[in-house]
Amino acid sequence: MSIIACYSSKGGVGKTAAAVNIAYAAAADGNKTLLVDLDQQGAASFYFRIRPPKQLKAKRVISSEAGAQKSIRETDFANLHLLPAHQSYRNFDALLDGMKRSSKRLAEVLDEFTSDYDHIILDCPPSLSRVAENVFHAADTVLVPLIPTTLSLRTYEQLKEFFEKTGYKRKKLRPFFSMADKRKRIHRDVIGELQLSEKRLLDVLIPLSAEVEAMGSRREPVLNFSPRHPASLAFQDLWKAVENT
């Protein structure tokens, strides 16, 4: 089983769109896949039209495998399950601070799913918090979507410095370009700069697209309702790149 996190401390960079679509792609390839929506905003859950069960609470999920297991729901797609988000997830940091092995709780819960799933995809909240530390500890790969702008590169550099400072393995970090618009000079310049300097950069570019934004009204992965669109093909490439890392 592999655990793949879609993470950025910067919001609005296409993190959830990536998580939803690579989870869909993984499942469509025949892999038993669990998408875990860790963001209390619940965008991934919304895209799959799944509401959190009444008993779902942050404490229940992070305290035991059984608590998480009972909250998992089937999606409309074969091989794809979802552990939905809940507003109580805003209290994750406070809950974790009061627990033993507070930076490893998520890994311990997910480890119990080893025999149930081939892949677990984490859609992470945009913060550098105790939850993020749990994600960094649990994940085999941390996908980092980067809009090709100076601020996004700065955010990524800060993340690398955090990994270096705290001892997490930097080789887990795999950035890729998201919401890219090659009509813009700044996007072209930043893409060229990072392609020369970042050896961990995945050779994938998710284009800025109204079709991806339409996921909000369609409430399904763009790969499902528009599979031949360039954005869908790019998400498919992203999954293949991750699968081969």
Instruction: Give the DSSP per-residue string, the chain.
Output: -EEEEE--SSSSSSHHHHHHHHHHHHHHTT--EEEEE--TT-HHHHHTT-PPPTT--HHHHHH-HHHHHTT-EE-SSTTEEEE---GGGGGHHHHHHTSTTTTTHHHHHHHTTTTT-SEEEEE--SS-SHHHHHHHHH-SEEEEEE-SSHHHHHHHHHHHHHHHHHT--GGGEEEEEEEE-TTSHHHHHHHHHHHHH-TT--S-EEEP-HHHHTHHHHTS-HHHH-TTSHHHHHHHHHHHHHHT-
Q: What is the pLDDT of residues 136-185, one digit of tens each?
A: 999 999 999 999 999 999 999 999 999 999 999 999 999 999 999 999 99
Burial class (CB in 10 A: 0-12, 13-18, 19+), 19: buried
What span, in angstroms and rounded, lies between the C-alpha atoms of 62 and 24? 25
The residue ranking higher by pLDDT, 132 or 102, is: 132
Q: Using N-to-C axis directions, what is the helix angle for 150-166 and 185-197, rounded to 10°? A: 30
Listed by start position, the domains of the chain span 2-244
As given in the structure block, the two tokens for residue 94 are 């406070």
Q: Are 224 and 26 in contact (CB under 8 A)?
A: no
Q: What is the pLDDT of residues 92-123, one digit of tens each?
A: 788 787 777 778 889 988 988 889 999 999 99
How confident is the model over 13-19, as a mean pLDDT? Answer: 97
Q: Residue 33: pLDDT above 90?
A: yes
User: What pTM, to 2 d.p., does this model score?
Assistant: 0.93
- The pLDDT confidence band at residue 65, using thresholds 50, 70 and 90, is low
Q: What is the pLDDT of residues 179-213, one digit of tens each?
A: 999 999 999 999 999 999 999 999 999 999 999 99
* Summary mean pLDDT of the chain: 92
Q: 2-244, which class in CATH? A: alpha beta
